[in-house]
């Protein structure tokens, strides 16, 4: 059983599991392509103009700079994306983050009082946005780069609505 199933209770049903939107990987991908192109250009210059130990030193320096840029600017965002989970079950909303140091938030669906989303023009094109969850007596929690944020908003709203029906309460009516 893989993550997130091993984080759930025995009778808890997984409804949605998402990583952040791929747009957060766009700058690291561009950085990787540019660093690789510049390293290739530098290796071409080294092959054409240097011989012997000068060539070896230039190749080693170019490889070291390329490796440093890739490890510094592309690997951390990729790992941050891979190890960030947004999970909705029939009972709660879970957010898990971190590679070495883990952090998480669990929000019981029954305690959610409001679900909102927002996205600008670029986010609308990419079908992503920020999900805002207001739980009873807490400050709003904002989660950025949620893929298909409108669908997640609707799904979470229905989960909250179903949870209030189970408790015997109805919004807008008093019994």
pLDDT digits (tens, 9 = 90+) for 41-88: 999 988 887 778 888 899 999 999 999 999 999 999 999 999 999 999
How many angstroms separate the Cα of 122 from the Cα of each of 69, 103, 164? 28, 29, 35
pLDDT at 168 over 70: no
Q: Residue 165: what pLDDT?
A: 65
Cβ(17)–Cβ(87) below 8 Å: yes
The whole-angstrom separation of Cα 94 and Cα 103 is 11
pLDDT digits (tens, 9 = 90+) for 25-45: 999 999 999 999 999 999 998
Residue range 5-20+84-166 forms a domain whose CATH class is mainly beta
pLDDT digits (tens, 9 = 90+) for 103-160: 988 999 988 988 999 999 999 999 999 999 998 767 888 999 999 999 999 999 888 8
Nearest to residue 137, comparing CAs of 103, 111, 98? 111
- The reported pTM is 0.79
Nearest to residue 155, comparing CAs of 17, 7, 6, 2? 17
pLDDT at 95 over 60: yes
Domain boundaries, the chain: 5-20+84-166, 26-78
- The mean per-residue pLDDT over the stretch 14-24 comes to 92
pLDDT at 173 over 60: no
């Amino acid at each position: 059983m893989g993550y997130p199933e091993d984080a759930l209770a025995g009778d808890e049903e997984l409804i949605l599991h998402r990583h952040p939107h791929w747009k957060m990987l766009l700058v690291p991908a561009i950085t990787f392509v540019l660093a690789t192109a510049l390293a290739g250009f530098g290796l071409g210059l080294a092959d054409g103009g240097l011989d012997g130990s000068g060539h070896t030193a230039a190749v080693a320096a170019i490889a070291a700079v390329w490796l440093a840029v890739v490890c510094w600017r592309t690997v951390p965002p990729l790992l941050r994306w891979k190890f960030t989970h947004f999970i909705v079950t029939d009972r709660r909303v879970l957010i898990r983050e971190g590679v070495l140091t883990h952090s998480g938030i669990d929000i019981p669906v029954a305690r959610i009082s409001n679900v909102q989303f927002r996205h600008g023009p670029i986010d609308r094109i990419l079908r992503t946005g920020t999900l805002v969850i207001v739980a009873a007596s807490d400050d709003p929690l904002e989660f950025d780069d949620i893929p298909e944020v409108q669908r997640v908003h609707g799904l979470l709203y229905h989960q909250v609505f179903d949870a209030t029906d189970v408790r015997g309460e109805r919004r807008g009516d008093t019994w």
